[in-house]
Amino acid sequence: MTDNTPRTGWTGGQNAFGDFAPALAHYTDQILFDEVWERPGLSKRDRSLATVTALVAMGSIDQLNFHLPFARDNGVTEQELVETITHLAFYTGWPKAMSAMTLAKKFFADDREK
C-alpha cells in the first residue's frame, strides 16, 4: 500500500498499545487491517472464517474475543461458527474446541440479550 492508498481508519492497535508498542500498533493497523484484510483475493467473510479457524487451532482464546464478533460482522453466521468449531475438534483437539465453543456460547448468549 502506498502513502496515497486510502486507509480503512482502523485504529485498534493504536488504541490498545500505541503508546507502549508503536511498531506493533503500526503493523496491526496499517499492514494487517489496511493491507492484508483489504486484499481482493478473499472476502472479509472468508478471511474471518480462516482467522477463527487458525485461532482455534492455536488455542488463542483471548484473540477469539475480538475475532468472533468481527467474523459475525463480516457475515459469518452463528451456525457456521459453531459448525466450524465442532469440525475443528477432530483436527485440532477437543480441549481447544471446547474452550472456543465455551467462548462462542457466551458471546452469542450475550449478543442475544442485547
Q: What is the pLDDT of residue 111?
A: 74
Q: How high is the mean pLDDT of the chain?
A: 92
Domain with CATH 1.20.1290.10 in the chain: 43-113
Give the model confidence (pLDDT) of 2-34 as tens digits: 455 556 788 999 999 999 999 999 999 999 999
pLDDT mean over 79-83: 98
pLDDT band at 1 (very low <50, low <70, confident <90, very high): very low
Task: Return the CATH fold of 43-113.
Answer: AhpD-like (1.20.1290)
Residue 114 pLDDT exceeds 80: no
**Backbone CA torsion sign across 100, 67, 59, 93:** positive
